Amino acid sequence: MKKLIKKRGFKYLVSFLILFFILFAMTIQPMMTDLQGEEILIKTKPFDPRDLFRGDYVQLHYEINDISLEQLDNEILKLKDQEEYNIFKNLEGKKLYVRLKKNRKFHEVDGVTLIKPKEGIFLVAKYKYALWDENKEYKNSNVRGINVDYTLDKYFVSENTGDELEKKARNGEVFVKVKVYKGYSLLKEIVE
């Protein structure tokens, strides 16, 4: 009987330790980014919705979300499809590495590649949709770039403070501080 209890106790301990290490491992990348990441500033274009469960937040859109064709590496341009409406459908599900360069006090897109850069500041992104020239037909020749997602699109704020933040953003007075470590990004704060 004692052997059975010892075996069960050992199994429970092992199960607990496995769960503990899984949960601990999930915190390593954000902690490393916070401790060792480089802080950058990015220009935003936000609006202010409300989440029923989590409260007020500012939905953020960045200038670096829209990427021109000239900033895409050749291997990405080779993936263009001839389909009229979803010209970059071959990019769906692929990791894109967006290299950033500093221009005065802000960072902007330097280039986009499918290969992880060995050095410099870069963000991991996912393709969302193609950008088309306004007031023109949806033809391959009218594509001007792509829009990407960095998963940095929500910033939660105290209740009833989102409207004030949105007004400041419309005037170009709001920027975002982001910590970046090996492509992983962590939204730290909104700077006014």
Confidence of residue 54 (pLDDT cuts 50, 70, 90): low
- Tokens (6 digits) for 105: 């006090």
Whether this model's pTM surpasses 0.85:
no
Instruction: Please tell me whether residues 121 and 171 are part of one structural domain.
Output: yes
Q: Looking at residues 14-24, what average pLDDT do you find?
A: 89
Q: Please, are residues 112 and 99 in contact by the beta-carbon 8 Å criterion?
A: yes
The predicted structure's pLDDT at residue 50: 52
Residues 30 and 44 in one domain: no
- Give the domain range for residue 73: 38-191
Q: List strand residue ranges (DSSP E) for 104-173, in order.
A: 106-113, 122-132, 143-149, 154-156
What are the helix (H) ranges across 108-171? 162-170
pLDDT single digits (tens) 110-158 = 999 999 999 999 999 999 888 877 766 655 567 788 889 998 877 777 7
Q: In the prediction, which pLDDT does 48 show?
A: 46
Tally of domains in the chain: 2
pLDDT of residue 110: 94
Mean pLDDT of the chain: 80
- Report the share of the chain in percent with pLDDT over 70: 79
Q: Are residues 24 and 62 in the same domain?
A: no
Q: What is the pLDDT of residue 85?
A: 61
Q: What is the mean pLDDT of residues 30-55?
A: 69
In whole angstroms, how large is the CA radius of gyration of the chain? 22
**Are 1 and 42 found together in one domain?**
no
Best CA proximity match to 127, nearest among 175, 72, 180, 179: 72
52 and 91: one domain? yes
DSSP letters, 26-44, are: HHHHHHHHHHHPEEEEEEB
- Domain check: are 31 and 108 in the same one? no
